[in-house]
Amino acid sequence: MSNALVLLADEVLLSRARTGDGAAVVNFASRWWPIIGRFAWSMLGNASQAVKVTQEAVGTVLQSAPPLETPVGRFLYRLALWLAIVRCRSGVRAATVGLPVFQALDRLNRIERAAFLLRDVEQLSLSETAAVLEIPVDQVQTHVHRARVLLASLLGDLANAAGLDFEHPVRRTA
């Protein structure tokens, strides 16, 4: 029930923002900016590009209505995802983060990466992740599983190569 209240609050806030209510614009942007920004940064591995994607996604939603049947949050995630994919395809990825986790994430295809991030980082449900990605739930499960297995293997191998000694000798694979 609280989820429905949040969705209703988003819709009402967006409606007020579109009528010129400055406080509603600030409230809406403050609510969604860090969420979409984190997702965009995780997709791109580049802070300046993530800011641009976030700015474009939030600005687009404030200026144009998402489809009536689509909740605001789902529309924002979907828009940010596709904007990030377009930026990656156009080669706009200068100054990427050299962290091992981003190097491992870069080994995933875009849909596996998005599915993993939406499920495990953003903690969306399977059905919500499927709705954002516009694919069936079983495909989401497959993409998330593949991503978890590959990331566990890549990051585990990296830890071993770096000589890190963990207390637990068994490595989790997914």
- Collapsing DSSP to helix, strand or coil, 45 comes out as coil
Band the pLDDT of 95: cuts 50, 70, 90: very low
Same domain? For 82 and 103 the reply is: no
| Residue 75 lies in domain | 1-96
Same domain? For 74 and 105 the reply is: no
| 30-73 pLDDT per residue, tens | 999 999 999 999 998 888 899 999 999 999 998 886 666 788 88
Q: In Å, how far are 63, 70, 109, 162, 174 from 152, measured between CA atoms?
A: 41, 34, 16, 15, 7
pLDDT at 161: 62
Same domain? For 90 and 121 the reply is: no
Same domain? For 67 and 122 the reply is: no
Same domain? For 89 and 138 the reply is: no
Band the pLDDT of 76: cuts 50, 70, 90: very high
Same domain? For 104 and 91 the reply is: no
With beta carbons less than 8 A apart as the criterion, state whether 11 and 48 touch: no
pTM metric for this prediction: 0.78
The 10 Å Cβ neighbour count of residue 15 is 12
The 10 Å Cβ neighbour count of residue 143 is 23
State the Rg of the chain over Cα: 18
Point out the domain boundary residue: 47, 68, 96.
96
